[in-house]
Amino acid sequence: MNKAAQPDIFSDQLEAWLKGKQPKSFDSLINLFKDKSFAVIFLVLMILPALPLPTGGITHIFEIIVMLLCLEMIAGFKTIWLPKRWRSLKLGKFLEGKAIPLLLKRVRQVEKRSSPRWRGFFTLPLAQRFLALLIFGLTLTAFLSPPFSGLDTLPSLGVVLISLAIILDDFILLLAGTVVGALGVFLVVGLSGVIIKFSHRLF
C-alpha cells in the first residue's frame, strides 16, 4: 500500500496494518504511526492487561516496556528508541489474532462518538510529559497489583483510554481515561491493604 492510499482513520490504519504482509513488530507500528507511535504502542501493549483474563507474567513484560517508553517521553524524546532486537520482535499470535481484533471493534465504537477536542493541549511539550507521567503511574500500579487478583484491569484500561485520547486528540476521552485509571489505583491500594492485613492474620 503506498502512502497516498493509506486510510486516515486510525482504526482503518490499524486494520490495514493487521491484514498487511509486513511483520507484526514494534518496528512496523513505529514506522506507520510515527508521531503517534508512543500512544499506539501503549494502546497495543496495555490492551492485554486491560482484559479481564488470566495472562500470567507476560503482561509484566509489556508493562515494563511501556514504563521505559514513558521515561523517554518525559525526557523529551520525539521518536521511540528501542534496542534493535526489541524493535524486530513480533507481537505474538494472541495479540494479532484476538486482542488487537477485539481492540479494533472497541476503537471503532469510540471513534463514532469521539471528535478532536482541545487538540492544542496534546501538542504542548509540558502536556506530553504530564501524560507520560500519568501513564507511567497507572502502568506501575498495574505492574504492582497482586497477581491473579484482576486488580490490574482498571489501571490498564485507563492507559488504553488515555492512549486512544492522544491518538484521537480528544480531551474528554482523556478525562474519562484518567477517572477510570484513578479508580483502578484506589482499588489496588485499598484492596491490596486488605489482602496484606488478612494474610498477616492467617500467618
Please report how the helices 125-144 and 37-50 are oriented relative to each other, as an axis angle in degrees rounded to 10. Answer: 20
> Nearest 5 degrees, angle CA 177-CA 179-CA 182?
105
Rounded to an integer, what is the distance from CA 90 to the centroid of its chain?
17
Condensed to tens digits (0 to 9), the pLDDT of residues 9-35 reads 999 999 999 998 888 899 999 999 988
> Are the C-beta atoms of residues 190 and 140 closer than 8 Å to each other?
no
Condensed to tens digits (0 to 9), the pLDDT of residues 103-127 reads 999 999 999 999 899 989 999 999 9
Q: What is the C-alpha to C-alpha distance for residues 131 and 135, in angstroms, rounded to an integer?
A: 6
Residue appearing with cell numbers 518525559 = 74
Q: What is the C-alpha to C-alpha distance for residues 185 and 56, in angstroms, rounded to an integer?
A: 20
6, pLDDT greater than 90: no
Contacts of 62 (CB under 8 A, 6+ apart): 45, 46, 48, 49
Q: What is the C-alpha to C-alpha distance for residues 150 and 129, in angstroms, rounded to an integer?
A: 29
Average the pLDDT over each of 1-15, 79-93, 139-153, 158-172 and give the range with the smallest value.
1-15
Secondary structure class of 1 (helix, strand, coil): coil
Q: What average pLDDT does range 150-157 have in this prediction?
A: 90
Q: What is the C-alpha to C-alpha distance for residues 41 and 38, in angstroms, rounded to an integer?
A: 5
64, pLDDT greater than 60: yes
Condensed to tens digits (0 to 9), the pLDDT of residues 72-103 reads 999 999 889 988 888 888 888 888 888 889 99
> Are the C-beta atoms of residues 111 and 165 closer than 8 Å to each other?
no
Report CA-CA distances (Å) from 90 to 42, 61, 63, 69, 151.
15, 14, 16, 18, 27
4, pLDDT greater than 60: no
CB count within 10 Å of CB 92 equals 12
CB count within 10 Å of CB 6 equals 12
